[in-house]
């Protein structure tokens, strides 16, 4: 495994990390034994950055991760997030009031069975929240108290990312960046590099599209709590598959799988400190981790740039 520095935090993180949203069943039913196997395999492979959230299964992923890290906490750079309300009458809303964030942070620490996290992120804050400031005071107090070592944001839009970097208080910004969502490289990464803000690239496999394993027939199984039931069904899913087909040339004698090519693409940008694909099981974790050891040739990167400014961005 290769390692990089997460911006100004100074944290040494694995180039390929592990995202744990999948372990809460957000991409179809999961078996805890497979989830725990994926986490154990990640650590065996040198993966030391694991990202979770209190929103994943209303704390389920944090609880599972806490079990997996028992006695191994010191081997992991641990990140979690808060701000999405997942239980009670306000379920589905976001809350970044100081009292709420202070409370859910403590609840996350209990589920994770630790007295601190290395990175605490506001989970999808609006521009107003990022700029307003009162929630940052809570994070700074928590840092001084030793509950968190660093803090930042996980954002949804380009505008939020630009504001977060320019605001100056986020040590790291987590955002979607992949072969089919390259906007951050043009609009956010240069700002982040200048400010030494760490970039965590999430969704490198585009909800499974960039594994090369999904077909149009899979549309029917995106049901219930599967997040793809909301965003990837029907025509949008078909268009994503068609775009992905244009990228098959990335798999060659040096890069064995589409997933590894997609991960290597994320890591090809120097602004990216780590990318956090999910892994349902040990086999997927091994495949993902291997993405850190392959390099996309310059001529392929050039072709990708041409495609992005043409058919991929439409």
Tens digits of residue pLDDT in 146-200: 999 999 999 999 999 999 999 999 999 999 999 999 999 999 999 999 999 999 9
Domain range holding 45?
3-208+256-297
Is residue 240 one of the residues assigned to a domain?
no
- DSSP secondary structure, the chain, as one string: --EEE-GGG--EEESB-EE-GGGGTBTB---HHHHHHHHHHHHHTT--EEE--TTTTTTHHHHHHHHHTTTTGGG-EEEEEE-B--SSTTTT-B---HHHHHHHHHHHHHHHT-S-EEEEEEES--HHHHHH-HHHHHHHHHHHTTSEEEEEEE-SSHHHHHHHHHHS--SEEEEE-BTTB-HHHHHTHHHHHHHT-EEEEE-TTGGGGGGT---GGGGGG--TT-THHHHSSSHHHHHHHHHHHTTGGG-SSS---HHHHHHHHHHHSTTEEEE--B-SSHHHHHHHHGGGG----HHHHHHHHHHHTTTTT-
CATH code, domain carrying 127: 3.20.20.100
Report if residue 241 sits inside a domain. Answer: no
Residue 231 in domain: no
In-domain check, residue 234: no
Active-site residues, by number, are 56
pLDDT at 178: 97
The count of structural domains within the chain is: 1
Residues 28-63: pLDDT tens digits? 667 889 889 999 999 999 999 999 999 888 889 999
Looking at residue 26, its pLDDT comes to 67
pLDDT digits 0-9 by tens, 88-119:
887 878 899 999 999 999 999 999 999 999 99
Is 73 part of any domain? yes
144 falls within a domain: yes
pTM tops 0.85, yes or no: yes
Q: For residue 85, is pLDDT > 60? A: yes
Asked whether residue 308 is domain-assigned, the answer is no
Asked if residue 229 belongs to a domain, the reply is: no
pLDDT digits (tens, 9 = 90+) for 205-263: 998 899 988 877 776 666 556 566 566 667 888 888 999 999 999 998 889 899 999 99
């Amino acid at each position: 495994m290769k390692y990089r520095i997460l911006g100004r935090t100074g944290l040494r993180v694995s180039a390929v990390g592990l995202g744990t949203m999948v372990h809460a069943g957000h991409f179809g039913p999961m078996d805890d034994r497979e989830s725990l196997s994926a986490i154990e395999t990640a650590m065996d492979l040198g993966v030391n950055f694991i990202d979770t959230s209190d929103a994943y299964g209303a704390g389920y992923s944090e609880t599972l991760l806490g079990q997996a890290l028992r006695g191994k906490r010191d081997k992991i750079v641990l990140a979690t997030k808060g701000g999405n309300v997942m239980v009670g009458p306000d379920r589905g809303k976001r809350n970044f009031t100081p009292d709420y964030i202070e409370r859910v942070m403590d609840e996350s620490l209990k589920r994770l069975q630790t007295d601190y996290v290395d990175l605490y992120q506001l989970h999808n804050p609006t521009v107003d929240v990022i700029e307003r400031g009162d929630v940052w005071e809570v994070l700074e107090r928590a840092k001084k108290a030793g509950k968190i070592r660093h803090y930042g944001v996980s954002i949804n839009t380009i505008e939020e990312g630009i504001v977060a970097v320019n605001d100056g208080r986020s040590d790291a910004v987590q955002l979607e960046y992949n072969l089919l969502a390259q906007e951050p490289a043009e609009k956010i990464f240069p700002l982040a590099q200048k400010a030494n803000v760490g970039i965590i690239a999430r969704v490198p496999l585009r909800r499974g599209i960039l594994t090369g394993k999904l077909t149009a027939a899979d549309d029917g199984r995106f049901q219930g709590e599967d997040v793809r039931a909301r965003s990837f069904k029907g025509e949008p899913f078909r268009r994503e598959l068609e775009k992905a087909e244009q990228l098959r040339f990335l798999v060659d004698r040096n890069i064995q799988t589409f997933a590894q090519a997609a991960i290597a693409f994320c890591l090809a940008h120097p602004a990216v400190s780590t990318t956090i694909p999910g892994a349902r099981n040990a086999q997927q974790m091994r495949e993902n981790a291997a993405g850190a050891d392959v390099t996309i040739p310059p001529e392929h990167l050039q072709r990708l740039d041409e495609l992005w400014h043409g058919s991929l961005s439409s």
